[in-house]
Structure 1
Amino acid sequence: MNNIEADASPSSTYVDILHSCHDPQAVAYYDKHGASTVEHAFAIANILHIHSKVLEASFFYRLAFDLHSKEQTEFPLPQSLLQVRLLCLLKSSNLPPTEELEELEKYSPRLANYIRGIQISWQSGRTGEGLELIGNAFEIFHSGEEIDRLYLELALRYPPTGLVTGESALGSTSIPCRLYMYWDSNPPEEIRNNLRYHQELLGSDFVFFDRDSASIWLYDHYGKEICEIFRKVRHPAEGADLLRLYVIQANGGWWLDADLRIRSRDAWESLTATTHKSCRLFTTHNYVLHNDFFGAAPGNPYIANAAMTALVNTFEHAGLYIAFKTGPGVLNRAVSRAIYNALQSRNPICDLQIDNQHAFHEFVEEYDVTYKNIASSWHSS
């Protein structure tokens, strides 16, 4: 952290900020492009934000806002710049200026309440009140953006009835003891070895799909249109994302990515023995829900909601980052909606068990795969 005050003027200090925060990428961007347009100030802010230079990022988000025409046809929208500026101030343990919150409220009362909700949760510990203030402001954002992760983190600190891990679920439908996996075509030797490992471990309870068998399955279960969407995706990861949601929704069971493996037969049996609800999800350390390993009973409403969001994103936001478009982000959004509805209705969240990263590693493990070093990654798509 540098010694620049949080309420300093970005227009007069941004050069000093860049040279004091020791971020070579941000400095290089500034040296090449400057920061005299919304596009360039926003890009520098994003670099700093990604690198956890949140106070410094807040200045450049404010600079981008000040340079903005304030027209709702210019992207990013002015309210988006202002809310992320204030969120970065909160992340740096600074108070959002009252006048800027009031300014944000003129553009979007829901975004202003989102910032207020985060503030009272983080700085006053009033998490329940914070969740009420945030409401369903996540619907303003793409699925999987930061608000979904923050909302889940707050909810797990102040869990609505029925969300606490391990609560019994009377009358819930159990998750079938079946494991699904996918590889589009021509799996490398390390993946073939993993497939053999699971076939030997689980026998007929292990089901593997490739692109052709997945296409046939989707055609038979969901029809021509879904099959064609699956076959036309821009990256195999999107196809795998869609398939997993539709397979688990129809058949129930567990999904596991091909670069993960169940640790042992004992781990598999422990998984089923410790699953108390009809949908079990796991979070990463930063509250992204894993879609590389999860389980649900057939017809589960959380998986159905995630599948709906993935399909809408495919049509409405074709160029969206895959993790948000069809990947973990759609599970996060489904859970955000469930939490919001539970808070509004004061009724329990039905049949949902969420465990942490430590529990995830109790059941599955990663293993070395060389294909990631030579193949195109979905992370750049």
Structure 2
Amino acid sequence: MSENNEHTHFSPSTADLAGDGQAAAYLERHGADTVEHAFAIANILHIHNKVLEASAFYRHAFDLHSKSQTEYPLPQSLLQVRLLCLLKAAQKLPEEEINELSTYSPVMAGYIRGIRAAWQENNNEKSLALVGNAFEAFHSGEEIDRLYLEIALNWIRSFGDSGFPDSEPAIPHHLYMYWDNNPPPEIQANIQLHREMLGDSFTIFDQSSAADWLYDHYGQEAKDLFLQVRHPAEGADLLRLHVILTHGGWWLDADLRVKSPQAWQELKDVKTHCQLFTTDNYVLHNDFFGAAPTNPIITNALMTAWANMFRHPGLYIAFKTGPGVLNRAVSRALYQSLQLEALLPAMRVDNQPAFDRFVEEYEVQYKNAGASWHSQ
């Protein structure tokens, strides 16, 4: 950056932190004179929804950056999140900064222009065209997947009804669940509840039976990958995708339960090949979903999970094998349909209230006791 650029004169102080105690403590202890520390403060502010202040610290980190493509976080990553925070703060974007971002990453600049089109111009169709498949420049499950899904759903549903292609019911009426070893009493009770409610339409896996199933259906490599995961939740994520891809049916985490026999019966009549649900924040649930065998959404999600296991072993589990791979698979399907004129797979994406009609949480003591994992 040139010396006369106003950003180089930003001198961080507690006055710039909007009263955020955690950010203030970090600034007092570490200062903000390196990319690492400025970035850390920006992240704290961003997490706490102090987005205008976060944008200033992301810009400060960018100005401190060498601009080398070997220094992480990359300069384009800092600049795009700086601009995204300005958008979240309902601020007008400096055009020169978007152009600056474009010199590092035209894809990320298109992403920012696309989000601006949706949020500030209320033009979802333009937004989707500008964003394109920019999500491929990010890890699966990062914020771009959630924003892309929200914009795409708003655009699709603007045409009325659900906006998704209809089909005959195709999801096998069978429920799958997993707990690795030694389920606590409340999990045992939940498993028994589903055995009694669903009978032969219910299958529960433990680690041993899951490993055997993977060996029989996908071979030694899949079994080894499952048994070598760094966290049991990662193993559960891998199992659910393999099982639903092969047999089809419904997956339910062991800390959730089907609300009633009537709710279970209603699922039999769902007219689609893939039924997904979003949280209010447009993260796709992987703790409860259903699909027909060999469904292309589940196929793509499993492909991404396998790739992440090898390419990004330290990635946050929710992005690496969890909900993030479903979000990425849906992003790809929507992009191909909207921009490449590919046929959108028969699927439905419903909201949190729809999710709550079928399943519910129940009290589990192991979470309160600080247990190391659960089945999600």
After superposition, what is the alpha-carbon deviation per residue over 1:6-28, rounded to whole angstroms, capped at 9, x for unaligned?
x9857435315445x11111111
The correspondence for 2:156, drawn from 151, 155, 159, is: 159
After superposition, what is the alpha-carbon deviation per residue over 1:96-115, rounded to whole angstroms, capped at 9, x for unaligned?
10110010000011100100
The correspondence for 2:241, drawn from 241, 245, 249, is: 245
Could you say which residue in structure 1 is the equivalent of 2:359? 364
When residues 236 and 272 of structure 1 are mapped into structure 2, their CA distance, relative to the original with a 3 A threshold, is same
The correspondence for 1:96, drawn from 93, 97, 103, is: 93
Could you say which residue in structure 2 is the equivalent of 1:3? none
After superposition, what is the alpha-carbon deviation per residue over 1:160-199, rounded to whole angstroms, capped at 9, x for unaligned?
89996375534x5600000000000000000000000000
SS in 1 for 2:200: helix
SS in 1 for 2:162: coil
Distance 2:234 2:127 in 1: 34
SS in 2 for 1:230: helix
When residues 222 and 72 of structure 1 are mapped into structure 2, their CA distance, relative to the original with a 3 A threshold, is same
When residues 132 and 166 of structure 1 are mapped into structure 2, their CA distance, relative to the original with a 3 A threshold, is closer
Could you say which residue in structure 2 is the equivalent of 1:283? 278
The correspondence for 2:344, drawn from 333, 349, 373, is: 349
Distance 1:126 1:161 in 2: 11
Deviation of 1:95 (Å): 1.4
Q: Write the mapping of 1:99-178 to structure 2, written as runs, cut at 5 A.
A: 99-159=96-156, 165=162, 167=164, 169-170=166-167, 174-178=170-174
User: 1:207 aligned to 2:189?
Assistant: no
Task: Work out the number of aligned pairs and report it.
Answer: 370
Deviation of 1:348 (Å): 4.1
Could you tell which deviates more after superposition, 157-166 or 135-144? 157-166
Deviation of 1:377 (Å): 4.6
Distance 1:27 1:241 in 2: 38
Residue type of the alignment partner of 1:261? R
Residue type of the alignment partner of 1:82? L
SS in 1 for 2:19: coil
Q: Once superposed, what is the RMSD of the aligned Cα atoms?
A: 1.9
After superposition, what is the alpha-carbon deviation per residue over 1:52-77, rounded to whole angstroms, capped at 9, x for unaligned?
00000000000000000000000000
Distance 1:8 1:30 in 2: 22
When residues 168 and 135 of structure 1 are mapped into structure 2, their CA distance, relative to the original with a 3 A threshold, is closer
Residue type of the alignment partner of 1:46? N
Could you say which residue in structure 2 is the equivalent of 1:310? 305
Could you say which residue in structure 2 is the equivalent of 1:51? 48
* TM-score normalized by the length of structure 2: 0.95
User: 1:26 aligned to 2:20?
Assistant: no
User: 1:329 aligned to 2:324?
Assistant: yes
Deviation of 1:36 (Å): 0.4
After superposition, what is the alpha-carbon deviation per residue over 1:98-143, rounded to whole angstroms, capped at 9, x for unaligned?
1100100000111001000000110111101100100000000000
Contact 1:162 1:349 in 2 (8 A): no
Could you say which residue in structure 1 is the equivalent of 2:10? 12
Deviation of 1:343 (Å): 1.1
Contact 2:252 2:288 in 1 (8 A): yes
User: 1:228 aligned to 2:219?
Assistant: no
When residues 378 and 133 of structure 1 are mapped into structure 2, their CA distance, relative to the original with a 3 A threshold, is farther
Residue type of the alignment partner of 1:15? S
SS in 2 for 1:72: coil
Residue type of the alignment partner of 2:345? C
When residues 290 and 163 of structure 1 are mapped into structure 2, their CA distance, relative to the original with a 3 A threshold, is farther
Contact 1:10 1:62 in 2 (8 A): no
Distance 1:193 1:265 in 2: 17
Could you tell which deviates more after superposition, 176-185 or 262-271? 262-271
Q: Write the mapping of 1:54-69 to structure 2, written as runs, cut at 5 A.
A: 54-69=51-66
Could you say which residue in structure 1 is the equivalent of 2:268? 272
* TM-score normalized by the length of structure 1: 0.93
Contact 2:117 2:124 in 1 (8 A): yes
Contact 1:303 1:331 in 2 (8 A): yes
Distance 2:8 2:162 in 1: 45
Residue type of the alignment partner of 1:234? R
Residue type of the alignment partner of 2:224? E
SS in 2 for 1:362: helix
**Residue segments in structure 2 that go unaligned for 5+ positions in a row:** none
When residues 18 and 126 of structure 1 are mapped into structure 2, their CA distance, relative to the original with a 3 A threshold, is same
Could you say which residue in structure 2 is the equivalent of 1:190? 186
The correspondence for 2:214, drawn from 212, 218, 223, is: 218
Residue type of the alignment partner of 2:92? L
Distance 1:115 1:153 in 2: 15
When residues 153 and 166 of structure 1 are mapped into structure 2, their CA distance, relative to the original with a 3 A threshold, is closer
When residues 151 and 378 of structure 1 are mapped into structure 2, their CA distance, relative to the original with a 3 A threshold, is farther
Contact 1:26 1:44 in 2 (8 A): yes
Could you say which residue in structure 2 is the equivalent of 1:4? none
SS in 1 for 2:103: helix
Distance 1:314 1:261 in 2: 29
Contact 1:249 1:299 in 2 (8 A): yes
SS in 2 for 1:207: strand
SS in 2 for 1:124: coil
